[in-house]
Amino acid sequence: MNNYKTLKNSGKAQKEFKGSAFIGYARHVKSENEAKAFINEIKRLHQDANHNVSAYLVKGEGSFALKYDDDGEPAGSSGKPVFKVIESKELCNTAVVVTRYFGGIKLGFGGLSRAYRETAVSAIENAGIVEIFEEIRFVARFGYPEFQKIKKLVEEYGRIEQEKYSDVIELYFLIKKDFEEEFREKLAKLTGNRIELEKV
């Protein structure tokens, strides 16, 4: 998985629909176990709630997990709409829990779906979305006259981590994996292939 979108921070939102309180929580998770732990944490926090509806989608090194749970609400009315929000925003490694305190007025299937969906959207928006790129770490060794043009090229394709100065310059940097080939070609052209480059 080279690039994916996930949550920047933890998010929270609260909404009210016909007297029922809906509290949404959204969090970035690295594994299915972490997603389950987060859901249990919210359930413990809101033990007195009528429902703690949840959904998550996790993709990692060779692993894939998705799940949604209506937690006692009518089948398909709540967990699936929350999951659909994660899916429609193209998020990975994301878990969302929407807690409901019943206010006495039934919302009906459509009303429930809308309430859970809108609360999930707000919690995710509160968390913010970030795009993650898979990166490769390199070290380049070269002479001082080459420094400015190499630095400029590296900053165009990635980010510099460290610069070391001795009789040559050692530059440690990260390049987005998708651009590795293009970067290598440009670097070779720029330096006439007179540069030592290795992955670290």
Tens-place pLDDT, residues 66-111: 999 999 999 999 999 999 999 999 999 999 999 999 999 999 999 9
Residues 117-130 have pLDDT tens digits of: 999 999 999 999 99
- Separation between Cα atoms, residue 27 and residue 129, nearest integer Å: 11
pLDDT (tens digit per residue) in 38-49: 999 999 999 999
Q: Are 71 and 53 in contact (CB under 8 A)?
A: yes
* CA dist., res. 108 & res. 118, Å (int): 15
pTM of the model: 0.76
Percent of the chain with pLDDT over 90: 85
Domains along the sequence of the chain with CATH: 3-132 (3.30.230.30), 134-199 (3.30.70.240)
- Determine the residue type at 41: E
Asked whether 191 and 142 are in contact (CB, 8 A), the reply is: yes
| 127 and 133 Cβ atoms separated by less than 8 Å | no
